[in-house]
Structure 1
Amino acid sequence: MRLSIYGAARTVTGSKHLLETAGKQLLVDCGLFQGKRKEAFEMNKKLEGIEPEAVDAVLLTHAHIDHSGSIPTLVSRGFEGDIVCTHATRDLANIMLRDSAHIQEFDVAYVNKKRARQGKNLFEPLYVMDDAIKALEYFVSYNYNRIFSLNDDVNLKFYDAGHILGSAMIMVQSEGKNILFSGDLGRNHLPILKDPDAVDIPTDYLVIESTYGDRLHDNIENMEKDLGRIISKTVNRGGKVIIPSFSVGRTQEVVYALHRLFLRKEIPDVPVFVDSPLSVNATSVFRLHAECFDRETQDFLIKEGDPFGFDSLRYIQHVEDSKKLNDSDEPMVIISASGMAEAGRILHHLKNNIEDERNTVLFVGFQAQNTLGRKILTGESPVKIFGEPYEVHAGIERIESFSAHADRDELLGFVRNLKTQPKKIFVVHGEEDSALAFAESLRQITPAEVFVPEMGESFEL
């Protein structure tokens, strides 16, 4: 058995882990790199270390694009195996991969206009809509908490990871060994989703994320209180609250929190807009999979109705309606994608609102290095949006308790509570400082050998 790390190595994007076992190649996740655009584009184009025709199956932990977004590239280059995931992940991937293809086509068309005027050679998109649609034909979905056979030599089991709808930890059983891939690990007591499952099978080897491996989150109980405080303060000075938010998971959490705040009359009665077609579609998938909700959310559903709908809330689909939001000078809350402010309609809302000191830009998710979101959060001014400089005069706020990633202590608790302690642990999906710090914390609590792989590094298991 051999494990090779071809993404999310001392960084948080591009997850790709190749497991070679029993004569088969299993690719756990196949995500896009994000961050520096030119560098990320080249890395995504290369698919370093992966021979698509040789891969027998993709095991997909969840639908986020940094875990799924290179699947259409893989398929367009000859992959013909199963893409194995949970039912909810299959349904989310159906909208997310189409959306990603649209973004690839749109971004390259925009860049090529400039390059054509300059007489430069034109770029090809990483993939197009037809590639995404073809990739979706290979998806095969299974339930949580049931062992199933991938082939004669490999068994799999999905555990609920509690990160986003459909997210899974994946236990691979082969050659008499058990290797657990955490995927992105969620937190206990977060709204909407069930807590991460306990792993009831001995774990010989563990591949674990470390997004927040060097820090602790704010108390979850403060989440709604902080959100209400920031909105009230901004509205009282006549401003807008602009929230860059991931379309899948975070947007639904913020909407649910706002619904509860409105019911308790703890925030002013201002309009709330979810301005992202992907968020609208993703919310529809959430409504289809109430079996993934925790008890509290299921009770809310019975007593109050749709968690993701209330009188002051409007979902925006059409561009014309999106533009009208920036014509208004009235207080409002705008939730828009992308979550790291790298693409999508959020860029227009930032462009039109970031220079007004009445407004607030509120971050509710992780901001990776080199993204516009990180630059704004760390106080850069001016920042470039669509190539033009904008001074940052709006208030900048952050609520870390919304995070759907386990923090250091939650990650350590997960490892402590495994049925058996692994022989080896591989720390991935964290920026270098975070991954190294978490590895050191692990060494204090477990006898396992702990590794922080470099890109392309391989290990015999």
Structure 2
Amino acid sequence: MKIAFHGAARTVTGSKHIITLDNGKKILLDCGLFQGMGTDTDRLNETLGFDPGGITYMLLSHAHIDHTGLIPRLSKLGYQGPIYCTAATRDLTEVLLQDSAEIQNDDIKYENKKRHQQNLPPLEPLYTVDDALHVLKQLQPVDYNTWTRIDPDVEVLYTDAGHIIGSACVHIRITEKGVTRQLTFSGDVGRYGDLILKSPETFPQADFIVMESTYGSTLHEAAKPSDEALLRYIHETCISNKGKLIIPAFSVGRTQELLYVLNTAQLAGKLPAVDIFVDSPLSLETTEVVIRHPECFNDTLQQVLRTDTNPFDFPGLHYIRTVEASKQLNFRTAPCVIISASGMAEAGRVKHHIANNILNPQNMILLVGYCEPDSLGGRLMRGAKQVHIYGTRYDVNARIGSIRSMSAHGDYQDLGHWLAGQVPDKVQKLFLVHGEYEVQQIFREWLLKKGFKDIQIPAQHTEVDLG
């Protein structure tokens, strides 16, 4: 048995790993889009690094585009087999892949206008909306906490990862030559004590572990101070400075968490009287999916649902559905909060809102989660004095704020907690993926002190023999 790493290898996006069995069958773990990689992004997404037609099965951890975004291309290039996932992941993936296809179509139209002026041939998108719709029939939901046999020699168990709605850690029992071994793929591990979701679950002893490491060198602040910080930023920006608060937020997970915090504050009489706009049709669709899957909510939110049927809605909240309505926000002079995708500020309507508000020192851009260093959000977070948005240079006069504790990824203590049920001596190899290389090196040293012996940080397209 071998494993190869074709994405999220010494970087945080593009998750895709392949297990090759001794009999030649191949199991693909995730097939994500690279995002926020600067000029390398398009090149990385053009080539999968493996033959799609050679894949036998696919196992999907969760619906985020950096884990699902190349599935339509995978299918288009030859893979027509099953894609196993949880029911909530199936529903979210349907929404997110169509949105991804539409974004690519819009981006390619913009790029082709420039190429036409330069007498260059037009480019094609990675996939179309039809391609995204075609792949949906391949998604096959499985239950949490039930071993499912997908092959005479392979069983799969999904346990709750607590990252986003439907997210799972994937455990694979493989029998070869009469010997059964387990490989565990963490997907993305959430936080313990999340405001909305259940905590990550314990799992059976693994022989091999492929583990995310996004915040492997970071200790998050407690969730409660992040609630207070959000209200403080709203008061300072909208009440004291009479400005606009622009919050880039992923449509899945982060937007719902923000709305839940604001709903709680409104019920407690703590939310200032300002209009709050969610300028993302995708956020509306994904929030509807989240509401359809209360089985993923933690006990606290289950209690809330007994008296509040929609904990993501409150007076003063407005969803912006049309492009024209989004543009009208640019002419609004009254203070307000605008929550818009994407979270790294690399695509979507939020880039336009940042461009239209970044020159005004009364305004603030509040970053509430991880940003790839080369993304627009990453550059702002690092304190850039000037940024380029759609080819135009802007001085960064608006204030830049950050609430890192709102991440859906666990910090190194959460990751350690997730591993706590494992006997280190029984884990033959532990691979760190989905992290920046410098962070992974720090996390590796921390794990060695915890007793894990063989910890590897694979590079892109590395293949390792598991014996």
Same fold (TM over 0.5): yes
Which of 183, 189, 206 matches 1:203? Answer: 206
Superposed structure 1 runs of 4+ greater than 4 Å apart: none
**Residue in 1 that maps onto 2:310:** 306
Structure 1 window deviating more from structure 2 (220-229 vs 157-166): it is 220-229
Code of the aligned partner of 1:397? G
SS at match of 2:199: coil
CA–CA distance in structure 2, aligned partners of residues 96 and 447 of structure 1: 37
CA–CA distance in structure 2, aligned partners of residues 230 and 419 of structure 1: 44
Deviations 1:66-103 (A, max 9, x none): 00000001000010110110000000000000001111
Q: Does 1:269 align with 2:273?
A: yes
CA positional deviation for 1:413: 2.4
CA positional deviation for 1:447: 3.5
CA–CA distance in structure 1, aligned partners of residues 441 and 135 of structure 2: 35
Q: Map 1:439-450; keep pairs closer than 5 Å.
A: 439-450=444-455
**Residue in 2 that maps onto 1:217:** 220
**Residue in 2 that maps onto 1:40:** 41
Code of the aligned partner of 1:312? G
Q: Map 1:56-67; keep pairs closer than 5 Å.
A: 56-67=56-67
What is the number of residues matched between the two proteins? 459
SS at match of 2:266: helix
Which of 366, 370, 373 matches 2:374? Answer: 370
CA–CA distance in structure 1, aligned partners of residues 271 and 147 of structure 2: 47
CA–CA distance in structure 1, aligned partners of residues 409 and 61 of structure 2: 14
CA positional deviation for 1:416: 2.6
Tell me the TM-score normalized by structure 1. Answer: 0.98
CA–CA distance in structure 2, aligned partners of residues 362 and 38 of structure 1: 25
**Residue in 2 that maps onto 1:428:** 433
CA–CA distance in structure 2, aligned partners of residues 303 and 133 of structure 1: 37
Deviations 1:401-439 (A, max 9, x none): 111111112212222322664111000000111111111
Contact 2:251 2:282 in 1 (8 A): yes
CA positional deviation for 1:23: 3.2
CA–CA distance in structure 2, aligned partners of residues 338 and 413 of structure 1: 30
SS at match of 1:31: coil
Code of the aligned partner of 1:27? L
CA–CA distance in structure 1, aligned partners of residues 408 and 37 of structure 2: 24
CA–CA distance in structure 2, aligned partners of residues 35 and 337 of structure 1: 14
**Residue in 2 that maps onto 1:173:** 173
**Residue in 1 that maps onto 2:460:** 455
Code of the aligned partner of 1:371? S
**Residue in 1 that maps onto 2:196:** 192
**Residue in 1 that maps onto 2:24:** 23
Q: Map 1:15-414; keep pairs closer than 5 Å.
A: 15-21=15-21, 22-48=23-49, 50-175=50-175, 176-199=180-203, 201-235=204-238, 236-414=240-418
**Residue in 1 that maps onto 2:3:** 3
CA positional deviation for 1:38: 3.7
CA–CA distance in structure 2, aligned partners of residues 298 and 269 of structure 1: 28
SS at match of 1:302: coil
Contact 1:31 1:68 in 2 (8 A): yes
Contact 2:201 2:418 in 1 (8 A): no
SS at match of 2:247: strand
Contact 1:12 1:431 in 2 (8 A): yes
Code of the aligned partner of 2:13? T
CA positional deviation for 1:36: 3.4
Contact 2:37 2:372 in 1 (8 A): no
CA–CA distance in structure 2, aligned partners of residues 341 and 283 of structure 1: 20
Contact 1:28 1:61 in 2 (8 A): yes
Gaps of 5+ in 2: none
Go from structure 1 to structure 2 and tell me whether the alpha carbon gap of 1:154 and 1:123 turns closer, same or farther (over 3 Å shift): same
CA positional deviation for 1:304: 2.4
Contact 2:205 2:421 in 1 (8 A): no
Gaps of 5+ in 1: none
Contact 1:416 1:445 in 2 (8 A): no
Deviations 1:192-247 (A, max 9, x none): 11011111x22111000000001111111211111111111111210111000000
CA positional deviation for 1:14: 0.6
Same amino acid, percent of matched pairs:
43
CA–CA distance in structure 2, aligned partners of residues 63 and 211 of structure 1: 17
Tell me the TM-score normalized by structure 2. Answer: 0.97
